[in-house]
Structure 1
Amino acid sequence: MTALSRSPRRFRGDLRFVVGIALVLASIAGVWSLVTASDHSSPVLQARTTVVRGEVLRAADFEEVDVSLGPLTDEYLAPSQLVPGQIAARTLTEGELVPRSAATSAEDGRTTTVVIKSSVRIPEDVQAGTEVEVWQAPLGEDGRTFEDPRILVGDVVVRTVLEPDGLLAEGAAELEIVIDRGNVADVLAAVTGGAALSVVPVGAGS
């Protein structure tokens, strides 16, 4: 009696079926891995309000949020990494996730704050966190007129706007500004010398 043998065609059909099942299982595993990875979230800090460069970072200024950032997670500040005494290395806007590079120690900070009085009403878009230039018109030798305006210091951030109430509201306003310590002497000299000061938002048209 002749022995029965499996048909080559039947064998190829079975092999294609097995390969097809393997591809389906691999596709399901890949999708599952992608979903699992995207669902992985980590706690980071988000600014509740605008935090100006040089300002001390306080826990009350931030909230903890869980976000999925993948490999970028380590670039943002986790709640456990907020150390007392740290300051903002740059201005953080409300709602912004806090990069680790935006926090530095007070010893490494080179900024301080100074209060100046603007001789004219400040633009409406100048507020806490706004980057501005401080201009001065030095008092003339006659003590009554002023020289042509010039930039006193750039790279300045407004910390607080202290606008007066009442009749003076249309005129002068005081601002607390964050400046490099190396520029403090020039600013104070302009203030004590009677120069007329004003602030211009960075990027404003001339």
Structure 2
Amino acid sequence: MPAAQRSQAPLPAHLSPSSPAPARWRRPGWRDPRLAGGLALIGGAVALGAWAVDSAAGTQEVYILTRDVAPGTDLTADGVLALVDSRPGSGAYIPAGSLPGDAIATRSLGKGELLPTAAVAPASAASQRSIVIEASLGLPKGTGAGDGVDLWQLPDGQAPRSAGAAAPVASAVTAQPSVGTGPAGDSSQESQEGAGRARVVAQGLVIRAVNQERTSLVSTGTTTVEVLVPEGSVADVLTAVGSGRPLVLVPTGQGS
């Protein structure tokens, strides 16, 4: 009898002679784009960190305005200044701890503005004086602290109409020619008074603060305005205030 034949089980597919050999793992080379991308990311992160550290080291605290201020404002008062980290890059702004104890603003400054060194002076060096004036005709709309104005005086018998008439009257006064102050303008001013015309009392005033209008049973509405007056014009302004004649503040378009 023929010998019994043994049955052979089929080989697994991965051991079959016809199956391809498994690929061998190769270490990425320097030209692999994935390696180059990873190195670029690492380099960028290092550079960004170095820049952040350098920026933090170069900042300093400087003063910033928390509200609008007019010339002559006391900068040491509460609620006027705050400190903020900044990189001014020069000595153009006052750093923390360097503000004089009697510092005032020499010009109009806006809220959010860094405090410039050139806009600060000691109060003892100020050449302006603060005087409160009752503007008989009020102020034109949009006029406020920091705006430049001229002070006009109405003649005798020229009663103010109302506070609401401030804008048209101020425009009309602005159209009239200015009259010089001082000895050269005295005769001209006197002639204007005699003719029943308004006259210029002082020029170059700056509004420091404006109070609400007030009215009484015997007078029309007035607006109390605190103005900064050049030292040479203080006597003229006080004389006009004491005369009892109506006073009008006319905006000049200068200031903040």
Give me the TM-score of the superposition, normalised by structure 1: 0.70
Q: Paired residues, what number?
A: 175
Higher mean Cα deviation, 119-128 or 105-114?
Answer: 119-128
| 200, 205, 211: which one aligns with 1:162 | 211
Q: Work out whether 1:124 is the aligned partner of 2:174.
A: no
How far 1:87 sits from its partner (Å)? 1.7
Residue matched to 2:81: 62
Q: 1:147 aligns with which of 189, 196, 203?
A: 196
Instruction: After TM superposition, give the deviation of residue 77 of structure 1 in Å.
Output: 0.9
User: Does residue 173 in structure 1 map to residue 192 in structure 2?
Assistant: no
**Which one of 57, 61, 65 corresponds to residue 47 of structure 1?**
65
SS state of the match for residue 75, structure 1? coil
| Gap regions ≥5 residues in structure 1 | 1-27
Aligned: 1:92 with 2:141? no
Q: CA deviation at 1:176?
A: 1.0
Q: Secondary structure at the match of 1:190?
A: helix
CA pair 146-49 structure 1, distance change in 2 beyond 3 A: farther
After TM superposition, the structure 1 stretch with the greater mean CA deviation from structure 2, 59-68 or 33-42, is 33-42
* Corresponding residue to 1:183 among 221, 233, 249: 233
Larger Rg: 2
The answer as to whether partners of 2:214 and 2:223 remain within 8 angstroms in 1 is: no
- Partners of 2:248 and 2:77 in 1: CA distance: 34
**Partner deviation per Cα, 1:25-47 (whole Å, 9 max, x = no partner):** xxx9x999987766632211111
Q: Look up the SS of the partner of 1:56 in the other structure.
A: coil
Letter in 1 for 2:87: S
Root-mean-square deviation (CA, aligned residues, Å) is 3.2
1:156 counterpart letter in structure 2: L
Q: Kindly provide the CA deviation profile for residues 80-99 of structure 1, in whole angstroms up to 9, marking residues without a partner as x.
A: 11121122222222221111
Alignment of 1:104-119 (within 5 A): 104-119=121-136
Structure with bigger RCO (C-alpha 8 Å, 6+ apart): 2
The residue aligned with 1:20 is none
The answer to whether structure 1 residue 134 and structure 2 residue 183 are counterparts is no
Identity of aligned residues (%): 30
* Structure 1 outlier segments of 4+, above 6 Å: 30-37, 167-170
Distance 1:200 1:153 in 2: 11
Structure 1 CA distance for aligned equivalents of residues 200 and 50 of structure 2: 57
Contact residue 93 and residue 129 of structure 1 kept, 8 A: no
In structure 2, runs of 5+ residues without a counterpart are: 1-43, 158-189
**CA distance in structure 2 between the partners assigned to 1:113 and 1:146 by the alignment:** 31
